[in-house]
Amino acid sequence: MKMNRLFLIPLLLVFTLVGCGQELVENDEPIELTISAAASLNNVLTEIETLFEEEHPQINLLVNFGGSGSLQQQIIQGAPVDLFFSAAENKYDELIERDLIDSSYSSDLLGNELVLVTPRNSTVEIKDFPDLVYNEINTIAIGTPETVPAGQYAKQTLQHLQIWDKLSTKLIPSKDVRQVLSYVETENVDAGIVYHTDAILSDKVKLIATVDPSLHDPIILPVGIIQGTNHKKEAITFYEYLHSETATQLYKKYGFRLVGNE
C-alpha cells in the first residue's frame, strides 16, 4: 500500500499542474497598449481601434487623446505610453532627440490643412483672415500655441499676415483643436481656426477660408513606438496596422493626406 501511495503522488502533481495551466490560459487577458494621440485624430483612430481589435483580440488599445504638447510632456515625465501619434513634428522631434522614440519604428505619416470657421448661423460678413480685424468678430478661438500644434500654426499664420497683434484681445486659447471646434459649434465664439479634417466633420460650422500652407510650418503628423515600451511585439503590430491599406482608406475618408515613408 505504501508503494501505491508513492506512485500516486507524481500523478496527482501532473494533474494539478495541467489544471493550473488550463486556468492560466482561460484567465489570460489581452495585452493593453497605451496610445497617446493628437485630438484631431479622434474620429479616425476610434474607427481604426475598433477594426484593429476585431482582427487582434489579444491586444486592447487604450487611446489617450489630447494636445500634442501636453502628451509629449507626459511621455518625457515617464508616462507609460507605447506609441505616440503627434500633430506636430517639433513636439515629436524633441522626443527623438531625447531617444524616447524607437527610430526603427518612426515615420511621418499624414498631412493636414488649417482653416477658418464660423458658426453655421453666423450673419457676420467675412471672406478671409484679414476680415477678422475689421468685421464684427469679437472672439476667435485657437489652440494654445505653446502646447497645441493647431494653435502654433494659427499663430504663425496670423503673424505672417501681420494681424496677430491686432487680434490679441480677441483670441481665446483652448486646450486642443477639438475644444476650438466645440466653441464655434456652440456659438461661444465668433470664429475659430481648426484643421480641415475637423471642420468637415461638423454641420454646425461654416468653412470660410483655407490657409495658404506657405504661411506656417508644414502640418505633418508623425507616429512612432516609444523606446521603453514593455510590449514591443504588440506595439509593432499596431504600428504596422497604422500603415496598412485598411488604415489608409480611413485616413482618406476623414480628409487626411498621406505623406509618409511607406
Which residue range is the domain that position 248 belongs to? 31-111+220-258
pLDDT of residue 29: 86
pLDDT at 76 over 60: yes
Rg (CA), the chain: 25
Average pLDDT over residues 181-204: 97
pLDDT of residue 222: 97
Average pLDDT over residues 156-168: 97
pLDDT of residue 134: 87
pLDDT of residue 72: 96
pLDDT of residue 260: 57
pLDDT of residue 239: 98
Average pLDDT over residues 187-196: 97
Do 119 and 207 lie in one domain? The reply is yes
Q: Is residue 54 part of a domain?
A: yes
C-alpha cell at 150: 493647431
Do 64 and 189 lie in one domain? The reply is no
pLDDT at 204 over 90: yes
User: Could you give phi then psi for residue 202, rounded to 5 degrees?
Assistant: -110, 135
Average pLDDT over residues 67-91: 95
Distance separating alpha carbons of residues 47 and 9, to the nearest angstrom: 54
Do 47 and 128 lie in one domain? The reply is no
Do 86 and 102 lie in one domain? The reply is yes
Task: Specify the CATH number for the domain of residue 141.
Answer: 3.40.190.10
Distance separating alpha carbons of residues 140 and 143, to the nearest angstrom: 10
Average pLDDT over residues 143-172: 96
Count how many domains the chain has: 2
Q: pLDDT (tens digit, 9 = 90+) per residue, 109-152?
A: 999 999 999 999 999 989 999 999 988 899 999 999 999 999 99
Average pLDDT over residues 224-228: 96
- Calculated CA dihedral for residues 144, 150, 156, 160, nearest 10 degrees: -120
Do 129 and 211 lie in one domain? The reply is yes
Q: pLDDT (tens digit, 9 = 90+) per residue, 1-60?
A: 444 544 444 544 444 444 444 433 344 788 999 999 999 999 999 999 999 999 999 999
Do 166 and 179 lie in one domain? The reply is yes
Q: pLDDT (tens digit, 9 = 90+) per residue, 242-254?
A: 999 999 999 999 9
